[in-house]
Amino acid sequence: MRTFSLSLLATATIALAACASNPPPEPPPTPSASNTTTVTPPVQPPVQPPRVTPPPSGPLAGSKADFAVKATDRVYFDYDAYNLDSDDQRSLSSQIAWLKQFPSTRVEVQGHADERGTRDYNIALGERRAQSVKSFLVAQGIAENRIQTISFGKDKPLDPGHDEAAWSRNRNSYTNVIVEAIS
Amino acid sequence: MMTTKTAGGIVQFFNRLALGVLGAIALVSFAAQAPAHAQLRAQVVGEQYIPLRIAVPDFDGTGPNAAQIAQDISNVLRADLGSSAPFRVLDKTAFIEKDLDITLQPIFANWTVAGLETQALVVGNVVVNTANNAMTVQFRLWDVYGQKLQYEMGYEVPTPLNWRRLAHKVADDIFTQLTGDPGYFDSRVVFVSKTPGDEPFKGRLAIMDQDGANAEFLLSNYAAVINPRFSPTDQVVLYGAYIPDPRYPGATLLRTYLYDLATGRQEILAEGAGQLDFSARFSPDGKSIVFNRAERGNTDIYKIDLASRRLTRLTTDSSIDVSPSFSPDGTQIVFQSDRGGSKQLYIMNADGSRMSCPRGGSGDACRITFGEAGYSFTDPVWSPRGDWIAFSRQGGGQFVIGVIQKDGSGMRILTDGYQDESPTWSPNGRVIAFERTASRGAGPKIHSIDLTGRNERRLPTPRDATNPTWGPVLKMQ
């Protein structure tokens, strides 16, 4: 009694606890000879130099960490608003370029709101923000089926503060890479 | 009817009853003998009670440990009545007559003396019987100035373990006798427990008695739970939970669960696949659910019949429509919408039929708040009595709890917090519990306030708490 009868949820919830704090991405694997060999097409002569050479200290191309370096992963909104201004569109252009470079990737667009508002309204508002971003990405040529959305409303603030500076940071949409490119 | 006996002058009819939620404990009820004429009642002037002066001397105890149990029951009884606006519980140290015998008529003059002026007197006893491992609580309610017995009742349980529920049952009986409304003390509140310092996102489903006793977690796992909503009829709860997307590690889904507290059985009602369903709430009969569905940037209100799973879309407006709540007769739904340019409350017919809106609205929904002075109105919840709709009003740098009638009249603001939201009604529609963030950055707590705006108090929770939802009075089966 009073325990989960759904084992799926039980395991899911444990996993949620583990991921809820957005841990930093795994450090990229150290480039090695075998690594470069695998990306070499077998039809090429063995003397052909590798086409893809990850930078020795940077993230692996097409990875979540690579996205964080090459794209602006978060756009910010005005109070109670969900429209994208020119700054936001510039930020999203960097996302679009990356998504076009790595067409096998998939993203989750998360909508967030500040704490000034009720839970329900802020979930709806966060969903609008996430959809604004998704619509822009789709309009710029990213396949719709590569993008899923979620809203956390006011319940997952980026900034734990309670002033206008924190609120303006918490009105955002975050693009979360959930399928990385295989390299 | 199992047996009849006479004890202490009270004729007692035994009905064996089982308390379903609490499992094996059985309850035996004695007869209620209520004279039909001229009952003592707490008086209401305007919208305020004149608190009725009630004396609850410690119950007498007979048998092993009975004195302590009698004391405990008396304390809970006094706390219940004392937490409630219709009563002023008198200080027992001022009593002249002590150690009252339930079989004897009290000496009324001892209770009407200046300073005490007792209107209602409760005399009770607790008998622990080791021969059959039973505990009996019986009580008499006296109309002191009327000098007559108003009500008497008794309960029996096989063990003394459940004395708190017995105290709440006695308090409910007294509340009903002296106000004419159903009691609400034998009920529970589900909420989301938050651990200070944790991510705000995290929250565990928890439950407590309405007075804060017996708080415990409901689910064994740490999760991110939102918007629990009690069934108005059963010990069943709807809630939302953010869970990892099983298809894509690192991604999140918002699922809606139906959770039977008695059996522990859970069922997934909704899970976003292109849409986000949230804020589900039961219909008054518990047979259907209204909820929000956000899809392609627009949130509308839907209804689903639980038996047939038939889905009905109730709003199609391009604005954000959220937080639906049924009227207790099931014919109408109050909700929040910004279709008029700001967040306001609207009422629609639950069957989607057109309505005439004398104060504004389009015919598919009538507007009942108008945002004077820039106020927004959010989080509407219809009282189970049907007379009031509770809401959270946003404006002037704060959120406050208020009530309004369904035609938009009679609005009253009840609280004065920094951020008061998520109101929920006691099962008798007399008290509103709500979530309060007392100041910027303060941990959220649960408070309650009487419909009259009096008697604000904090409902103690072990940690921070959000999203209270008040369940129905527990059944005796």
CATH code for the domain of B433: 2.120.10.30
* Residue B21 located in a structural domain: no
Domain count for chain B: 2
The predicted pLDDT at position B156 comes to 83
Name chain A contacts of B250, Cβ cutoff 8 Å. Answer: 19, 64, 108, 176-178
Distances (CA, A) of B221 to A20, B203, B237, B271, B453: 13, 10, 17, 19, 38
Tens digits of residue pLDDT in B320-361: 999 999 999 999 999 999 999 999 999 999 998 999 888 777
H helices of B61-203, in order, are: 66-82, 163-179
Distance CA A122, CA B107 (A): 61
How large a percentage of chain A has pLDDT more than 70?
69
Tens digits of residue pLDDT in B35-65: 445 688 888 777 788 899 999 999 999 999 9
Q: Is the Cβ–Cβ distance between B369 and B385 less than 8 Å?
A: no
Distance CA B62, CA B70 (A): 9
Q: Do B266 and B376 belong together in one domain?
A: yes
Q: What ipTM was reported for this prediction?
A: 0.88
Half-sphere exposure of B356 (CA within 13 A, CB side): 1
- Whether pLDDT at A157 is above 50: yes
The predicted pLDDT at position B37 comes to 54
* Residue B477 located in a structural domain: no
Half-sphere exposure of B281 (CA within 13 A, CB side): 26
Instruction: Pick A16's closest partner by Cβ from B243, B278, B294.
Output: B243
Q: Do B41 and B143 belong together in one domain?
A: yes
Q: Is B154 helix (H, G, I), strand (E, B) or coil?
A: strand
Tens digits of residue pLDDT in B242-299: 999 999 999 999 999 999 999 999 999 877 667 899 999 999 999 999 999 999 999 9
Q: Is the Cβ–Cβ distance between B274 and B295 less than 8 Å?
A: yes
Amino acid identity of A153? G
Give the residue from B226, B234, B153 showing the smallest Cα distance to B194: B226
Instruction: Pick B297's closest partner by Cβ from A2, A127, A148.
Output: A127
In the predicted model, what is the mean pLDDT of chain B? Answer: 88
Distance CA B429, CA B424 (A): 9
Residue of B227, B247, B252 for testing the chain A interface, max A β-carbons within 10 Å: B252
**Nearest residue in chain A measured CA to CA from B216:** A2
In the predicted model, what is the mean pLDDT of chain A? Answer: 78
Q: Do B151 and B260 belong together in one domain?
A: no
Domain that holds residue B92: 31-179
Q: Is the Cβ–Cβ distance between A38 and A31 less than 8 Å?
A: no
Distances (CA, A) of B79 to B97, B164, B168, B213, B396: 21, 11, 10, 12, 36
Last residue of a domain, one of B179, B214, B232: B179
Distance CA B465, CA B469 (A): 11
Q: Do B466 and B445 belong together in one domain?
A: yes
Tens digits of residue pLDDT in B399-432: 999 999 999 999 999 999 999 999 999 999 999 9
Q: Do B226 and A12 touch (CB under 8 A)?
A: no
Q: Is the Cβ–Cβ distance between B363 and B357 less than 8 Å?
A: yes
* Residue B458 located in a structural domain: yes
Last residue of a domain, one of B159, B179, B199: B179
Name chain A contacts of B392, Cβ cutoff 8 Å. Answer: 118
- A159 to chain B, any CB pair closer than 8 A? The answer is no
Task: Return the CATH number at B45.
Answer: 3.40.50.10070
Instruction: Pick B220's closest partner by Cβ from A4, A116, A150.
Output: A4
State the fold for domain A73-179. Answer: 60s Ribosomal Protein L30; Chain: A; (3.30.1330)
Q: Go through chain A and tell me how many residues it has.
A: 183
Q: Is the Cβ–Cβ distance between B88 and B51 less than 8 Å?
A: yes
* Residue B8 located in a structural domain: no
Strand locations in chain A (E): 74-76, 106-112, 147-153, 172-179
Distance CA B140, CA A73 (A): 69
- A173 to chain B, any CB pair closer than 8 A? The answer is no
Distance CA A15, CA A7 (A): 12
Q: Tell me the shortest Cα–Cα distance from B188 to chain A, in angstroms.
A: 15
Last residue of a domain, one of B179, B203, B229: B179
Q: Do B217 and B71 belong together in one domain?
A: no
- Whether pLDDT at B6 is above 60: no
Distance CA A104, CA A180 (A): 7
* Residue B95 located in a structural domain: yes
The predicted pLDDT at position A47 comes to 52
Distance CA B151, CA B111 (A): 18
Give the residue from B257, B379, B285 showing the smallest Cα distance to B325: B379
Q: Is A182 helix (H, G, I), strand (E, B) or coil?
A: coil
Residue pairs spanning A and B at CB distance below 8 A: 173
- Whether pLDDT at B101 is above 70: yes
The predicted pLDDT at position B220 comes to 75
- Determine how β-strand B419-425 pairs with β-strand B412-413: unpaired
Distance CA B207, CA A1 (A): 14
The predicted pLDDT at position A55 comes to 56
